[in-house]
Amino acid sequence: MSKILAVFGATGNQGGSVVTHVLSDPQLSKEYSIRAITRDASSAKAQALKACGVAEVVAADLTDASTLPAALAGAHTVFLLAATPGFGGDIRSVQRDSVITGADACVAAGVQRIVYSTLPFASKISGGKYTGVAPFDGQAEGEEYIRGLSDKGVVRSSFVSASAFMQNYRGPLKPRPSPAGDGTYVFTTHVGAESKLPLIDITELGKWVAAILADFDKLEGKTLCAGSRQYTMLEIVEHLSASTGKKVVYKQVSSEDALQLFGGDRNPAAGVLVEMQLYEEEFGYFGPDTDKLVRWSVENAKGHISTFEEYLQREPIQLD
């Protein structure tokens, strides 16, 4: 009999990728029966999962502990990620607490393995310099809690940590037309042109989770820093230019100007985004060994990992 793999966030980017890659893998699709967990099991996305081969679609919410026992009953392995509240409140505490709630529910249900989607502990990596990167720190605190449970021997665990999404360059980071009206497009940020950032096509996160599921003993307790490689800001601009056929230029502005570009007081996330990029520039997204960590993770992924160039060829960005 196949084991139940319960996947939180199954209709989102990360959970959806896990579902896709497990179902498409000849061995894992036999070994695991997927239980998709989403906050709204009646949504069109949730119902579409059934047509893709998902055995069960159930409703549960990591911010409501009462919904979890039924969702996790009989599960062997759980893909867990933090709740995603808006930026208006205390996102760090909400995300940390949602992970703790989920992990405790896994233990209570007798789950054997947790694969948790984490993020780097920015405030610790920076030695306390950058304490405002709330989404990173909240999820990292969740990781620490799960590792503590594993140290006690109550559940086994492994971790995956996503790089910056390539998809962001077709959304909030999309180059904008130059005010000069000369047909060029401007990619504006407050970090240096040689600042590096690891990128991931987030639809491929499941390739790392599949690797963990396929060889859990090898990857138990480890963190796969999921991304293709690091890119400088100039390299990102060059690839956007080549892909779109438009001239894209890089412009560095002050942190104060960047804050306004991100929406200023109108956007509760603006300050977090500014501090996040400063942290990444000074300390590295995954810390000082980011290059090494990402290369190792690519080597251990299950399947080919797309470069930014390949992503842009497959999913062209339109500048207009």
Give the burial class of 26: count Cβ atoms within 10 A of its Cβ; 0-12 exposed, 13-18 middle, 19 or more buried: exposed
Q: How far is it between the farthest Cα atoms of the chain?
A: 65
Do β-strands 77-81 and 223-226 pair in parallel, antiparallel, or remain unpaired?
A: unpaired
CATH 3.90.25.10 domain range(s) in the chain: 167-196+229-287+306-314
CA atoms of 111 and 140, how far apart (whole Å): 21
CATH 3.40.50.720 domain range(s) in the chain: 3-163+201-226
List pLDDT tens digits, range 13-32: 999 999 999 999 999 999 99
Looking at the predicted structure, is the pLDDT value of residue 89 above 70? no
Angle at 207 between CA 46 and CA 21, to 5 degrees: 40
The class of domain 167-196+229-287+306-314 in CATH terms is alpha beta
**3-class DSSP state for residue 107?**
helix
Confidence of residue 88 (pLDDT cuts 50, 70, 90): low
CA atoms of 148 and 48, how far apart (whole Å): 37
What pairs with residue 156 in β-bridges?
Answer: 113
List pLDDT tens digits, range 78-87: 999 999 876 6
List pLDDT tens digits, range 34-58: 999 999 999 999 999 988 989 999 9
pTM above threshold 0.85: yes
List pLDDT tens digits, range 120-136: 999 999 999 999 999 99
Instruction: Annotate 133-193 with DSSP letters as a single string.
Output: -HHHHHHHHHHHHHHHHHHTTS-EEEEEEE-EEGGGGGTTT--EE-TT-SS-EEEEESS-T
Cα 15 versus chain centre, distance: 10
- Domain 3-163+201-226, CATH number (from 2.40.30.10, 1.10.10.10, 3.90.1150.10, 3.40.50.720): 3.40.50.720
Looking at the predicted structure, is the pLDDT value of residue 231 above 90? yes
List pLDDT tens digits, range 277-300: 999 999 999 999 999 999 999 999
Instruction: Annotate 195-249 with DSSP letters as a single string.
Output: -EEEEE-GGGHHHHHHHHHHTHHHHTT-EEEE-SEEEEHHHHHHHHHHHHSS-EE
